[in-house]
Structures are given as C-alpha cells and as structure tokens.
C-alpha cells in the first residue's frame, strides 16, 4: 500500500449538466474513498439550468468552472485538464459513486506499473448488474454489425459475437483492455496532456474510446481492476434530452470510424457502415417515440 511519504496526488474532474441530485453523493463518495489522495476536485458545469453549480460550491476545496453553453463532455474535461495539478487525473461522472478503497486500488496499479497509462474499476448498475462499458475492445465494423442485429446480447459470453464488451473474459479478473469508460477512469495526467486531452469533435459518447485508442497507439496499456468498484446510475441526464443524445451517440460512432478506420477498409464497407449507423439511429428514434422511457444506448 502507499505510504504518507510517497503518496501521489489525484485531481478529480467531474463534468456536470443538471446533476444537482447526484453530485453531493458523488463528491462524498470521493472523499470517503480516499480523501488523502485527492488534491483537487474540479467541477466543470455545462450550463446547468438547475442548482448544480451552487451545490458543488458548498463543498470545501471544490473548484467550480461554469460554462455559458453546453460545450460537450470532452471539451469540458479539457477545460478542467488545464487546471489539473495532480500526478493522476480521475475522470468521473456525477452519477458514479466510488466504493470504499476504489481510488486507492486504481492508484496502486498505476504506481506499480510504469507502462500503464490508465485504470478503470468494475462498475455496477443500481440493480447489481455490470456496466459493460467498464471494459471494451475497440469497435470494428463486424462487432458493430453483431450489436446492431442483436447477436451480442443473445450470446453475451461469445468471443466472436460479444467481442466489443469482452464477453468471453471474466469480469472478476484483472486484465488489459482496449478502453474503459470516461464515466470513471484514472489516467496519468502527463499522458492526458501530451495527447491534448479529448478530441472535441465528439460532443458526447465515443470520446473516451477515441482517447483510449490514441493512448494505446503511443504504446501505453490500459487495465481493468475488478477489485476497485463503483456504482453507476447511468442515463440520468441523457434521458432528459434523449433526442439530441441519440443523435450524438450515432454521430460519434461515425466520427470514430471515419477517424481511425476509414482508410483501412474498402469504400463499400465504409458506405455500409455509414448507412448502417444512420439507419440504426432512425430506427431507435422511431422506437423511442413509442416508449414510455426513451433510451439512448441499448
């Protein structure tokens, strides 16, 4: 375990938008998990219409940065990154609640592995199910196709059909992954800054995959730490503005493909991917209009 002498520092960046109901529990959980490690908590508020900035300001030592407009998740994190002083940066959503010891365990992994740039915990939903976004392989046209036609859900433990969410790998084992989730991931601050932070072409969704892709391209590893745990409420803000978020989710899918895969595949594959992404968007738009509780993902 870390000692008081060699204890590293962690900056926590929380991007908020109408998050007043969850933010107090989120910040309390950070302090309870590892107050002595946290040198900064930076809340970057994306033009909330509720009391989110005022709620954040009630906590001692929390820096609140208010944006006049909703500039998106990645851009808001980049603002927070400019003020970061910690050796490590914890990206944290306001609806994620760290469990006791979570931050300590993530920091321990980075302290012991100089080749590791990022570490993510096991994330649970309130009903006890796993948040599959906590460990992912980079999406490909084939894995995307299996998700669209439902084979990844029908065969959740398949190495082929559920490759994107690493369904064949045990969620209880420490392992290298392609990507964690920006909802809760600890990263080396120097690596984040060297990469220039997030790509701001993404408004919301996909920017964490893109960031992890660029980290891995530089030769760093990202790992999943099942002994570190957190609860993710998920979908609180998105469900309020589901039409915009649904569009942004699918736009991010195409941005990621265009940026990282477009030159790898024949043009006909790229055309099929483009058509598939936006047909999926139109289908879910129609389905959501018929649902009592619209969904953005899944």
- On whether the CB atoms of residues 45 and 17 are closer than 8 A, the answer is yes
pLDDT by residue (tens digit) across 215-244?
A: 999 999 999 999 999 999 976 445 557 788
Instruction: Identify the burial level of 153 via C-beta atoms within 10 angstroms of its C-beta, where 0-12 means exposed, 13-18 middle and 19 or more buried.
Output: middle
Among 40-44, 88-92, 147-151, 244-248, where is mean pLDDT lowest? 147-151
Tokens 């946290």 belong to residue: 38
Rounded Cα gap, residues 236 and 93, in angstroms: 11
Q: What is the pTM of this model?
A: 0.91
Candidates 284, 296, 282; CA nearest to 249 is 296
pLDDT by residue (tens digit) across 160-193?
A: 999 999 999 999 999 999 999 999 999 999 999 9
Candidates 217, 227, 240; CA nearest to 1 is 227
Domain at 10-135+171-236: CATH architecture: Alpha-Beta Complex (3.90)
Q: Tell me which H or E stretch contains 179.
A: none
- On whether the CB atoms of residues 64 and 53 are closer than 8 A, the answer is yes
Tokens 């389905």 belong to residue: 287
Residue 241 confidence (pLDDT)? 76
pLDDT by residue (tens digit) across 50-89?
A: 999 999 999 988 999 999 999 999 999 999 999 999 999 9
For residue 200, name the pLDDT band (cuts at 50, 70, 90).
very high
Please determine, for residue 36, whether its predicted confidence score (pLDDT) is greater than 50.
yes
Please determine, for residue 297, whether its predicted confidence score (pLDDT) is greater than 80.
no
- Distance linking the first and last C-alpha atoms of the chain: 39
């Amino acid at each position: 375990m870390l000692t008081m002498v060699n204890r590293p520092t962690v900056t926590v960046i929380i991007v908020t938008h109408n998050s007043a109901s969850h933010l107090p529990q989120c910040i309390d959980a950070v302090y309870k998990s590892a107050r002595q490690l946290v040198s900064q908590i930076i809340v970057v508020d994306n033009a909330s219409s509720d009391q989110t900035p005022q709620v954040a300001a009630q906590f001692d030592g929390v820096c609140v940065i208010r944006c006049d407009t909703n500039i998106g998740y990645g851009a808001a994190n980049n603002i927070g990154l400019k003020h970061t002083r910690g050796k490590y940066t914890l990206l944290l959503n306001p609806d994620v609640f760290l469990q006791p010891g979570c931050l300590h365990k993530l920091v321990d992994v980075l302290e012991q592995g100089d080749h590791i740039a990022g570490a993510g915990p096991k994330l649970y939903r309130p009903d006890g199910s796993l948040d599959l976004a906590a460990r992912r392989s980079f999406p490909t046209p084939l894995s995307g196709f299996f998700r669209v036609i439902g084979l990844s859900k029908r065969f959740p433990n398949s190495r082929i059909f559920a490759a994107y969410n690493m369904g064949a790998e045990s969620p209880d084992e420490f392992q290298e992954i392609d990507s964690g989730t920006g909802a809760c991931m600890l990263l080396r601050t120097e690596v984040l800054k060297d990469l220039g932070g997030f790509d701001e072409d993404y408004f919301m969704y996909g920017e964490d995959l893109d960031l992890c892709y660029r980290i891995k391209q530089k030769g760093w590893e990202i790992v999943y730490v099942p002994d570190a745990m957190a609860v993710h409420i998920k979908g609180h803000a998105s469900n309020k503005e589901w039409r915009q978020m649904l569009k942004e989710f699918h736009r991010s899918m195409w941005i990621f493909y265009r940026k990282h895969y477009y030159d790898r595949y024949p043009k006909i594959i790229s055309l099929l991917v483009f058509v598939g992404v936006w047909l999926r968007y139109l289908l879910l738009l129609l389905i959501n209009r018929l649902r009592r509780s619209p969904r953005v993902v899944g």
